[in-house]
Amino acid sequence: MKTRKLAYSSIVTVFLGYMLVAGQSVFIPLFFAIFFMLMLSPLCGFLERKGMGGAWSIVTVLLGVNVFLAGLAALLGNGLINVTSNASDIEGKIQSAISQIFKLTNQYFGISKNEGVNWLSENIGSAIGTPVGMIGTGLSSSTGVLANMLLMLVFTFLLLLYRKPFKSFLMLQFPKERKKEGREALQSIQEVVQEYLYGTLTVMLILGVLNSVGLWFIGLEYAFFWGFMAAVLAIIPYVGTALGGMLPFLYSLATTTNMWEPLAILGLYFVVQQLEGNFITPKIVGDSVDINPFFAILALLVGNMIWGVAGIILFLPLFAILRIVFSHIEPLKPLAVVMGSDVYESTQELKSMDDRDHRMSQLFS
């Protein structure tokens, strides 16, 4: 019986994994819509308490969000069009500039220009030019992006409209003796998503302003485009801020004749990254996700493998939600503890779970 249950569980897991990959055109906008629903439901509830009808409150909130997004798109659009239209020229200048750097290092530091260095100087320009080229390629698939956005908007509206019946349906899945625990779990999930999304949005706005003003003082062309592009990329943990700083650095390297401007850009992004990592994000986002770095990186890798860039954005809060769910299932409570940000201090808690009920094998018994 145990073997049969394990086999059924394995089949279901494989099927769900296949569906996530094959059905990404549906699941990606659906999961984005779920997160937006959790983020926007308090605003809709506030308008409803003020006497506005349910549907009209949702339309008002979604309209406000779309106006904000349209403003951001207009801010980035002009710079995006100019950068992508000159992508091939920029790539060539980057390659030329990097080759010149290798010549200078060879001249002043006596570094041998061996075959490996020659290969790097000849090919790194093309490799680094790839992100810029990807932006242009993304524009060619704008029809698919627009379709996904429209689907996400429809999902968000319907989820907001039916959020109370859906919540009641979820509560029906808990036995009477565990309904209080179920309500607490759903409340925790909503709080995690809201804190993460609102906090991330606030951090992005702060970083966008800091980056843009700094680049404007330095004198870089399209300063606000590069500044807010880096802020948007900062949603990718650990690597997003560095990538966001590398793009304007390379653009400056390709379009200016002096070295102080690229170096000033590196200095600016180093300072901003230190502020973001040590002060801005901890104060604003805090421990809302409560996932340790190992599982955070795992979430990014798995998300990228399954859904690409969308997975990188979605899977970190999804792992945080899974951790909350696991913490309410006895055999999975140790896994929830191991996933937590304070896992290093949780040895005693794990030792206290050394019994039959907390073994994952109980899922299949």
Distance between CA atoms of residues 296 and 196, nearest Å: 14
Confidence at residue 99, expressed as pLDDT on a 0 to 100 scale: 61
Instruction: Please report the pLDDT score of residue 138 as a whole number.
Output: 45
**Which pLDDT value is given to residue 137?**
46
Nearest CA-CA partner of 127 in 115, 119, 138: 119
Cβ neighbours of residue 117 under 8 Å, at least 6 residues apart?
Answer: 102, 111
**Contact present, 319 and 291 (Cβ < 8 Å):** yes
252 within 8 A of 262, measured Cβ to Cβ: yes
Angle, CA of 356, 362 and 365, to the nearest 5°: 125
Six token digits for residue 126: 């093309």
* Tokens 């680094």 -> residue: 128
Q: What is the pLDDT of residue 116?
A: 43
pLDDT along the chain (365 residues), means of 10: 63 76 85 90 88 86 84 68 60 59 58 48 46 46 62 91 90 85 86 85 88 89 83 73 79 76 87 82 70 85 85 86 87 86 77 78 67
> Cα–Cα distance between 354 and 77 in angstroms, integer?
56
Neighbours of 329 (CB within 10 A): 14
Domain ranges of the chain: 30-173, 192-284, 289-365
Of 207, 200, 185, 162, give the one whose Cα is nearest residue 323: 185
The sign of the dihedral angle between the CA atoms of 238, 280, 70, 318 is positive
* Model pTM above 0.85: no
Say which residue the tokens 């109370």 belong to. Answer: 164
**Kind plus residue range of the DSSP H or E element containing 52:** none
- Residue ranges in the chain assigned as alpha helix (H): 2-22, 24-49, 54-85, 87-109, 115-140, 142-161, 163-172, 179-218, 223-233, 240-255, 260-275, 281-284, 293-307, 309-326, 333-339, 347-351
Q: Is 207 exposed, middle or buried (0-12, 13-18, 19+ CB in 10 A)?
A: buried
Hey, what are 357's tokens? 């009920």
